[in-house]
C-alpha cells in the first residue's frame, strides 16, 4: 500500500513563479505529442498551477507560475495555457487547493495524500476558468489561435535524410539551407538522369514532364504524374528563382514552410525510377 506521506511519483515541469517557463512547459508537452487526457487547474486565491493527467494514474505537475486578478504576465500566461489546452481538446477542470499543496508542488515535493485530495476534490461550479481567458483581452486579440503559442520548428522525423544536415543548421542559416537544398536536388536529378549540367525547368521537364520522360513513378497514372512534375517546376519558379536573385527578408515560419515544400520534392524524387 502506498503511504500517504510518501512523495508522489510524478514529474514536475516549469519553474515556480516563472510564468513563461510554465507556459513553455505545457506547449512543449503538447508539441511532443504527450497524450494529455485531462488538466486540473489548481487554484489557491489568485495563484495557479496545473496537474496534467496522462492516463488514469500518471501525472505531470506544472509549477505555480500562473496568477489571476490583475493585468500582467502571470494572467496572460494563464490565458495562453488554458487556450492551448482547450484548443487541443484537453478537458480542463478547476479545483481549489490549500497553500500547503501549492507550496509543495512548487518545491517538487507533493505527497500521495496531496494527489488523493486533488482527485477527490469537487470541480468548481459554475465553471469559471473561461473568465481567466476573457479577463485578459489582449491575450485573446493577439493570440486568438493556439498555434501562435508554438515555436516554429522543423519536424525532423519527416525530413529526407539527404537534407537532414540542412535541417539541423536551418535555425541559424535558413536562407543558405534552402538554397543549398535547391541546388542539391538539381544535382541529384541531373546525375540520376545522366543530364550533367542541366538545371531548373529544363531539367525537370526532361526528367518528368515530356513524353518519354527519363523518370517515372510506378503505379501512378499519367494525370497524377504530370501533377507531381508540375510541383517541381512550380516550386522552383515560385520560390527558388526569387530567392536566388534577390535578398529577401522572410519570417522564420515562411522559411520553414518553403523548406518543407522542398523536402516533399526530395520525397517525390526518391520514389521515382529510371525508365
CATH code of 45's domain: 3.40.1530.10
Determine the pLDDT at residue 211.
75
Determine the pLDDT at residue 176.
93
Residue-number span of the structural domain to which 209 is assigned? 156-274
The verdict on 226 and 118 lying in the same domain is no
Determine contact, residues 146/88, Cβ cutoff 8 Å.
Answer: yes
Q: Is position 202 within any domain?
A: yes
C-alpha cell at 136: 485578459
Q: How many domains does the chain have?
A: 2
The verdict on 119 and 172 lying in the same domain is no
Residues of the chain with pLDDT under 70: 1-2, 137-147, 210, 248
Q: Is position 35 within any domain?
A: yes
The verdict on 120 and 78 lying in the same domain is yes
Residues ≥6 apart with Cβ < 8 Å to 233? 201, 204, 205, 209
Q: Is position 5 within any domain?
A: no
Determine the pLDDT at residue 140.
53
The verdict on 38 and 119 lying in the same domain is yes
Determine the pLDDT at residue 117.
96
First to last CA, the chain: 69
The verdict on 125 and 165 lying in the same domain is no
The verdict on 239 and 256 lying in the same domain is yes
Q: Is position 4 within any domain?
A: no
Q: What b/e sequence results for 209-246 when a residue is b if at least 16 CB atoms lie within 10 Å of its CB, and e otherwise?
A: beeebbbbeeeeeeeebeebbeebbebbeebbeebeee
Determine the pLDDT at residue 108.
97
The verdict on 71 and 175 lying in the same domain is no
The verdict on 105 and 122 lying in the same domain is yes
Amino acid at each position: 500500500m502506498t503511504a500517504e506521506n510518501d512523495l508522489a511519483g510524478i514529474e514536475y515541469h516549469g519553474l515556480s513563479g516563472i510564468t513563461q517557463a510554465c507556459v513553455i512547459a505545457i506547449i512543449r508537452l503538447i508539441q511532443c505529442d504527450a497524450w494529455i487526457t485531462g488538466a486540473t487547474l489548481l487554484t489557491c486565491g489568485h495563484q495557479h498551477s496545473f496537474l496534467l493527467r496522462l492516463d488514469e494514474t500518471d501525472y505531470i505537475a506544472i509549477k505555480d507560475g500562473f496568477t489571476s486578478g490583475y493585468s500582467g504576465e502571470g494572467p496572460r500566461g494563464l490565458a495562453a495555457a488554458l487556450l492551448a489546452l482547450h484548443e487541443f481538446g484537453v478537458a480542463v477542470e478547476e479545483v481549489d487547493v490549500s497553500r500547503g499543496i501549492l507550496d509543495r508542488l512548487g518545491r517538487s515535493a507533493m505527497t500521495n495524500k496531496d494527489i488523493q485530495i486533488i482527485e477527490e476534490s469537487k470541480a468548481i461550479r459554475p465553471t469559471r476558468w473561461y473568465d481567466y481567458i476573457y479577463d485578459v483581452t489582449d491575450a485573446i486579440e493577439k493570440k486568438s489561435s493556439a498555434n501562435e503559442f508554438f515555436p516554429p520548428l522543423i519536424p525532423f522525423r519527416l525530413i529526407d535524410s539527404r537534407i537532414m544536415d540542412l535541417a539541423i543548421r536551418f535555425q541559424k542559416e535558413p536562407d543558405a539551407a534552402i538554397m543549398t537544398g535547391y541546388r542539391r536536388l538539381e544535382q541529384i536529378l541531373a546525375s540520376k538522369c545522366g543530364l550533367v549540367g542541366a538545371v531548373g525547368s529544363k531539367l525537370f521537364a526532361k526528367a518528368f514532364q515530356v513524353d518519354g520522360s527519363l523518370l517515372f513513378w510506378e503505379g501512378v497514372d499519367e494525370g497524377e504524374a504530370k501533377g507531381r512534375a508540375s510541383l517541381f517546376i512550380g516550386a522552383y519558379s515560385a520560390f527558388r528563382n526569387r530567392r536566388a536573385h534577390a535578398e529577401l527578408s522572410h519570417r522564420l515560419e515562411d522559411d520553414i514552410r518553403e523548406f518543407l515544400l522542398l523536402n516533399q520534392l526530395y520525397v517525390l524524387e526518391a520514389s521515382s525510377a529510371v525508365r
